[in-house]
Amino acid sequence: MKDRIAQVVSGLSASPEIVTACLAALPVTELRFSIPYATFALHLNWSTALIWSIIGNLLPVPVILILLDPAQHFLRRWKKMDRFFDWLFARTRRRGKIVERFRFIGLMLFVSIPLPVTGAWTGSVAAYLFGIRFVPAMIAISLGVSIAGTIITLACQGFLGFWNPSSGF
């Protein structure tokens, strides 16, 4: 799925920086995919890939934080959407125990773990569910995204020993 998304986004006649930001903004890919893709497939230097990935990953956060409540109330009128939000919120509550317990620090740590379902999108939902106000949530998520981006960038550069950058993407 990530390869198909990358193919579609790369097919757009956009600069590599915009492609990187778009990939980072998507909930499936976020910066866990956009940084390696930008580094190895788009041949951006590590700092450019990191900056554009952070920007892209943070773009949906204020929208989610502001619109999730009214959107879910409106969309719950339909049975399928009601089930979707029940599933999403239950899943986020299960995975977000650290956020519930430690609030701001927990949200930052939750988002900073570079694993699937721990990024900015899920962090935004967790902030909403656990009642973290907009500004603290934005700061915690921004810090978490920056930490996760740094970890992924270091891994792409071979500093963490996960893979050899000369082997390509």
Greatest mean pLDDT among 11-20, 76-85, 160-169 lies in 76-85
Residue 87 lies in a domain: yes
Q: Do residues 108 and 141 both lie within one domain?
A: yes
- For residue 132, count other CB atoms closer than 10 A to its CB: 23
Q: Do residues 35 and 94 both lie within one domain?
A: no
Q: Work out how many domains the chain is built from and give that number.
A: 2
Q: Do residues 33 and 78 both lie within one domain?
A: no
CB 111 within 8 A of CB 119: yes
Q: Do residues 30 and 102 both lie within one domain?
A: no
Q: Do residues 81 and 119 both lie within one domain?
A: yes
Q: How far apart are CA 136 and CA 140, in angstroms?
A: 6
Q: Do residues 17 and 100 both lie within one domain?
A: no
Angle between the N-to-C axes of helices 46-58 and 60-75, in degrees from 0 to 180, rounded to the nearest 10: 30
Residue 168 lies in a domain: no
Q: What is the pLDDT of residues 28-57, one digit of tens each?
A: 999 999 999 999 999 999 999 999 999 999
**Confidence at residue 2, expressed as pLDDT on a 0 to 100 scale:** 67
Give the residue with greater pLDDT, 12 vs 118.
118
Can you tell me the mean pLDDT for 112-119?
A: 91
pLDDT grade for 13, boundaries at 50, 70 and 90:
confident
Q: Do residues 138 and 100 both lie within one domain?
A: yes
Q: What is the pLDDT of residues 145-155, one digit of tens each?
A: 999 999 999 99
Residue 158 lies in a domain: no
Q: Do residues 65 and 52 both lie within one domain?
A: no
| Domain coverage including residue 15 | 2-58
Q: Do residues 121 and 67 both lie within one domain?
A: yes
Q: How far apart are CA 76 and CA 138, in angstroms?
A: 26
Q: How far apart are CA 129 and CA 145, in angstroms?
A: 19
Q: Do residues 15 and 46 both lie within one domain?
A: yes
H-run or E-run covering 129: helix 120-129
CB 115 within 8 A of CB 148: no
Q: Do residues 22 and 92 both lie within one domain?
A: no
Matching residue, tokens 């959107």: 71
CB 149 within 8 A of CB 21: no
Answer whether residue 16 shows pLDDT above 80.
yes
Answer whether residue 161 shows pLDDT above 60.
no
pTM check: above 0.75? yes
**Confidence at residue 121, expressed as pLDDT on a 0 to 100 scale:** 97
pLDDT grade for 117, boundaries at 50, 70 and 90:
confident
